[in-house]
């Protein structure tokens, strides 16, 4: 185990407890300055990090090592519920609790963007644009320093799934708080608001009717906290869920696509087009059950039926899309791989 170096007696007990002693950082000297360092961890792949952007770092000018407190991923808290169901009050309550514990909090919502709710929710196109704006604002604010709270109806489960994909992409935890209030009570609270902040009754009723209730069995709705109007917000449980839980692992749809060489992409396009052309030409003199030889491939296309040009183009495009995600730099095997793919797809 690597021991923690001293640096002029500046190491406090709190700092020593916060450090991961299994982690050490080797300095890359660039122009004799600590511009960058390589963080090597027994459970973490090496990553190049700018030393000037770090927090909680302690460095000795005569040492070859920097020891830092690992960053804590800042999570996303999503609220959902009927209009005027107490979401904003719960957001402020959670914000006050987190700020008292020394954390930075940023709230994003319809009221922050300053939209006309009645005009937006009466027009499906404008509502879709609003959801896009809220999602973009969340994506911009998700960082290592601030907890982001999304204070909005979030009544569409498909939209909550989009937010879940977003947090998987940035690798940060999240939780969902469902504010449960009877429609009659929410309607009364709505009428007690200022005129410029009220939903008109038609829009209010439509939003209540369209609300898709969250289900904790869905991974995008979990962990789920349901809070009735007279209940206290379970602050400690929420903090445990967002600060002491690992982020969901990324999947293929949320990861960066691997880069392929220009030559590989050119050959992929060329080879697959040659195979399609060969099959189309051979079908002119073939009958179902024939075997078609393809130049450059040891595999043969087994023809159970006559294939249309549109079907071959669709299969070719599917194969190209898959191969881009799983590139094989052995270009000589592309023709065989495509023929195998065709045989599996058309049978």
Is the entire prediction scored with pTM above 0.85?
Answer: no
Pairs from 63-67 (Cβ < 8 Å, separation ≥ 24)? 63/5, 63/7, 64/26, 64/27, 65/5, 65/24, 65/25, 65/26, 65/27, 66/25, 66/27, 66/34, 66/37, 67/4, 67/5, 67/19, 67/23, 67/24, 67/25
- Ranges of residues in the chain whose predicted pLDDT is under 50: 1-72, 257, 259
Indicate if 101 and 53 belong to the same structural domain.
Answer: no
Looking at residue 287, its pLDDT comes to 87
Q: Is residue 250 part of a domain?
A: no
Indicate if 161 and 198 belong to the same structural domain.
Answer: yes
Indicate if 232 and 92 belong to the same structural domain.
Answer: yes
Looking at residue 275, its pLDDT comes to 93
**For the chain, what is the domain count?**
3
Indicate if 230 and 198 belong to the same structural domain.
Answer: yes
Residue 251, token pair as written in the block: 């999947």
pLDDT tens for each residue of 202-244: 999 999 999 999 999 999 999 999 999 899 999 999 999 999 8
Indicate if 22 and 131 belong to the same structural domain.
Answer: no
Looking at residue 260, its pLDDT comes to 54
Looking at residue 65, its pLDDT comes to 32
Looking at residue 82, its pLDDT comes to 96
Q: Is residue 253 part of a domain?
A: no
């Amino acid at each position: 185990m690597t021991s923690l170096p001293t640096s002029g007696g500046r190491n406090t007990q709190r700092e020593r407890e916060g450090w991961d002693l299994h982690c050490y950082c080797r300095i890359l000297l660039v122009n004799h300055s600590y511009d960058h360092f390589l963080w090597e961890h027994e459970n973490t792949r090496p990553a190049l990090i700018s030393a000037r952007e770090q927090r909680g770092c302690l460095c000795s000018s005569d040492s070859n090592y920097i020891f830092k407190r690992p960053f804590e991923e800042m999570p996303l808290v999503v609220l959902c519920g009927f209009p005027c169901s107490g979401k904003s009050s719960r957001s402020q309550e959670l914000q006050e609790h987190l700020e008292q514990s020394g954390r930075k909090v940023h709230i994003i919502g319809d009221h922050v963007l300053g939209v006309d709710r009645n005009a937006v929710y009466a027009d499906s196109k404008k509502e879709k644009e609003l959801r896009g704006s809220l999602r973009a604002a969340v994506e911009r604010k998700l960082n290592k320093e601030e907890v982001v709270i999304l204070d909005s109806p979030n009544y569409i489960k498909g939209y909550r799934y989009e937010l879940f994909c977003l947090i998987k992409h940035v690798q940060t935890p999240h939780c969902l708080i469902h504010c449960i209030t009877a429609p009659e009570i929410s309607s009364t609270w709505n009428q007690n608001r200022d005129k410029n902040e009220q939903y008109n009754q038609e829009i209010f009723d439509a939003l209540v009717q369209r609300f898709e209730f969250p289900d904790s069995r869905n991974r995008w709705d979990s962990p789920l906290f349901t809070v009735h109007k007279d209940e206290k917000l379970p602050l400690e449980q929420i903090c445990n869920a967002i600060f002491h839980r690992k982020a969901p692992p990324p999947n293929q749809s949320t990861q960066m696509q691997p880069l392929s060489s220009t030559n590989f992409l050119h050959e992929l396009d060329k080879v697959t087009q040659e195979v399609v052309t060969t099959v189309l030409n051979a079908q002119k003199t073939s009958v179902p059950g024939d075997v078609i030889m393809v130049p450059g491939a040891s595999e043969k296309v087994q023809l159970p039926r006559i294939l249309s040009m549109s079907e071959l183009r669709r299969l070719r495009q599917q194969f190209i899309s898959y191969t881009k995600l799983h590139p094989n730099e052995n270009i000589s095997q592309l023709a065989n791989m495509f023929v195998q793919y065709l045989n599996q797809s058309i049978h």
